[in-house]
Amino acid sequence: MTSPAPETLTRRQLLAGSAALGAAALSSRSRPALADTSAAGLSLGARAAAKGLLFGASFATQELDKPYGAAYAETYKREARMLTSEAEFKLYTLRPDAEKLNFRPADRLLAFARENGHVLHGHTLIWNDAVPGWIKDLAPDDVKLLLDMHIRTILGRYGAEIPTWDIVNEPIAPWDKLPGNLRNGPFYAAYGADYIATSYRLAREVAPAARLYLNEAQTESADDNGEVFRKSFLELLKRLKGEGVPVDGVGFESHLDSKRRYDFPRFAAFVEEIAAMGFEIAISELDINDHAWPADQKTRDRLVAGMYKNFLSAVLPVKAVKRLTLWQIADHSSWMYYDDLAKNPKGSRRPRPLPFDSAFKRKPAWDAIAEALDVMPAR
Ligand code: GLA
């Protein structure tokens, strides 16, 4: 017997892994009620829920293993009603190599959410960025096979229990200079622009009850970059809508930055325009990079709180916004904090982008978010 060509082998191995491990769909269970109050008043989650808004943050299961893991868990139990997976559903976590599927982190996240009554948001199945290195060795036909199999496997296993999903993440990247300002990467290279429509159509077929979101960054700022992102994203959404592609919702990441210019009412008008096209809306990854503000901690905390307040008081009146998600909840678990730690191991000025500090104490940003939730109109 001749041995199969490497390409065939890869296909078979991928398929074998998929069929064996993906078959066991996870069953739903009833969710316990969450406590509504903290000692000093209503949590952010409870304040949002009172207005019909789902509030939460991204959650990284590996943070549970840190010395502060218990306090991390407690903060999410108290403050958040929903969790977005941080890396648990990313391709490099689920498929560390071509032959293996690793469901452990995702299953752990699901167990935490079930135990504590959190709604989960799945992030993200198909992204041309942050892919595992081995994908770069696949032939275009095998990338197509992978996309198909990945969506079938992951939504086959988790699609009935997790109600909303980012199917495609960050489709726009003007710097790649492709038609429509689409982002380049293995899925684009294999399908062209059709990787997006193909992914949503398949996701709808595999998980008909799931709400399918398209998530995008950098649409918020009042500068050329924000303008290009808004224009390109709007064109893409119009095209998908026109082609009947089943995208139900749009996530605006809202990683805000102290060095950028903003006109939040103008951004809110853009959100309103997208909502008027019939999309559900989420603010999906909100945080504030404070690097351009003074080192003095009190001053920085005040400025961060001010930006939360300005952003939320412009955006939350848009009633189509049904979910508000922060990217992490406490400063030291933020991607910015980890980046800074790697770049400046001895640095003394760490980013403070979130409503809780590294001791899980509330910061002025917490009050700003609470206030914006309290005054926003009910959904
Ligand atoms: C992007 C992605 C997220 C996360 C954040 C922060 O916006 O969508 O998954 O990686 O950046 O790093």
pLDDT for the residue 10? 53
Cα 203 from Cα 198, distance rounded (Å): 9
Nearest CA to ligand 1 atom 6: 335
Within 10 A of 56 (CB to CB), how many other CB atoms are there?
Answer: 25
Q: How remote is the CA of residue 39 from the centroid of ligand 1, in Å? A: 32
Within 10 A of 170 (CB to CB), how many other CB atoms are there?
Answer: 22
313-347, pLDDT tens digit by residue? 999 999 999 999 999 999 999 999 999 999 999 99
Nearest CA to ligand 1 atom 4: 86
Ligand 1 surroundings by CB, under 6 angstroms: 169, 217, 253, 255, 285, 327, 335
Residue 41 banded pLDDT, cuts 50, 70, 90:
confident
Closest ligand 1 atom to residue 169 Cα is 8
Q: How remote is the CA of residue 123 from the centroid of ligand 1, in Å? A: 9
Q: Is 76 exposed, middle or buried (0-12, 13-18, 19+ CB in 10 A)?
A: buried
85-133, pLDDT tens digit by residue? 999 999 999 999 998 999 999 999 999 999 999 999 999 999 999 899 9
DSSP bridge pairs for 221 = 262
Q: How remote is the CA of residue 41 from the centroid of ligand 1, in Å? A: 31
Closest ligand 1 atom to residue 123 Cα is 9
Q: How remote is the CA of residue 249 from the centroid of ligand 1, in Å? A: 18
Q: How remote is the CA of residue 8 from the centroid of ligand 1, in Å? A: 33
- Helix/strand/coil for 150: helix
309's enclosing H/E stretch is: helix 297-315
8 Å CB contact between 132 and 183? no
Listed as own residue / partner, the contacts of 89-92 with beta carbons closer than 8 Å and 24 or more positions apart are: 89/122, 89/123, 89/124, 89/125, 89/154, 89/158, 90/123, 90/124, 90/127, 90/130, 91/125, 91/126, 91/127, 91/130, 91/131, 91/132, 91/135, 91/150, 92/130, 92/131, 92/132
Amino acid making up residue 358: S
Looking at residues 197-212, what average pLDDT do you find? 98
Cα 377 from Cα 318, distance rounded (Å): 9
8 Å CB contact between 159 and 206? yes
Cα 120 from Cα 143, distance rounded (Å): 28
DSSP bridge pairs for 250 = 214, 281
Looking at residues 274-293, what average pLDDT do you find? 98
pLDDT for the residue 18? 53
pLDDT for the residue 200? 99
Nearest CA to ligand 1 atom 9: 86
Q: How remote is the CA of residue 3 from the centroid of ligand 1, in Å? A: 41
- The token duo for 216 is 């995008």
- What pTM does this model have? 0.91
Cα 212 from Cα 163, distance rounded (Å): 9
